[in-house]
Amino acid sequence: MAENNDANTTSSSSVDGAKPEIAEKDEVFDEFYTEVKAIEEHDSVLTSKQQLDRLNRPGSTYFNLNPFDVLQCDPDTPMADLKKKFRQMSLLVHPDKNPDDKDRSQVAFEAVNKAYKTLQNEEGMKRCREIIDEAKIRVDEMIKVQRKKLKKEGKPTIVPEDDIEKYKHAVYVQTCKLFADLERLRIEKETKDMHERKRKAEEEETEKEKEQVQKEWNKNFEESRTGRVDSWRQFSSQKKSHKKMKGTFRPPKPKLEKR
């Protein structure tokens, strides 16, 4: 009986631990994630200056495209907590609270407002989560390619992203790239649409000018019709009078006598 129990235990443990590496990785990740959350909770009460520095750091134009990064929250953060975070952050960076640093505070305040409005919208939240999911897929694919290459070369299939912190950083970098690519596409489309609208407006303006010229010409043509008719009648009358004069008998000129 004891042997059967041992066998069952062995069998059960083999099933539960079918992927020990993954289970261990998940455990390490959970531990790391807890630490990160504690750090984020501490950092969430940064001073106004620190938040202004963060939201105006080099490359902030692209970093601030990620609303989760701006508000320092996770994609699965409940909307109620997002709202609290937004209020806290907006108070810290509000221009009125930073009269000596109004330019940077205005940039930061606009970034915070935009981030919250994006996540407040259901479609915006969905789109942002999809971008982060896509970033994870790309990082996982990159890791897979790296492992395959190492295996082919006969080397240990260990990659830097096996470290959870480096994996998280890789996902963060890939997320920034995706947001940046989408922003570039948006700007290109907006620029293209603007040029198209400008071209159409110019064509419409040219067409209006042509119509106006034609309208003026028609108006002048109609206004001068009476004058043209009178001139033609006068010309015709003079022509007829000239012909009539041509047909009138004229006496011969007297000739001088020759002596």
pLDDT tens per residue across span 122-171? 999 999 999 999 999 999 999 999 999 999 999 999 999 999 999 999 99
* Interatomic CA distance for residues 70 and 116, integer angstroms: 9
Q: Is residue 200 a part of any domain in this protein?
A: yes
For the domain that residue 69 is a member of, what is the CATH number?
Answer: 1.10.287
Helix (H) or strand (E) holding 22: helix 20-43
Which domain-ending residue is among 120, 142, 171?
120
Q: Using one digit for the tens of pLDDT, what is the confidence trace for 167-205?
A: 999 999 999 899 999 988 888 888 888 888 888 888 888
Same domain, 150 and 112: no
Whether residue 132 sits in one domain with residue 59: no
Separation of alpha carbons 41 and 74, rounded Å: 12
**What angle, rounded to 10 degrees, do the helices at 79-93 and 48-55 form?**
100
Q: Specify if 4 maps to a domain.
A: no
Cα–Cα dist 120/135, whole Å: 22
pLDDT band of 254, cuts 50, 70, 90 = low
Domain end (from 62, 96, 120): 120
Look at 48-52, 122-126, 241-245 and tell me which has the smallest mean pLDDT. 241-245
Q: Which domain holds residue 200?
A: 123-215
Query: Domain for residue 99, yes or no?
Result: yes
Indicate whether 112 and 135 sit together in one domain.
no
Tokens of 7: 């066998």
Say yes or no: 169 and 194 in one domain: yes
Q: How many domains does the chain have?
A: 2
Is 107 found in the same domain as 54?
yes
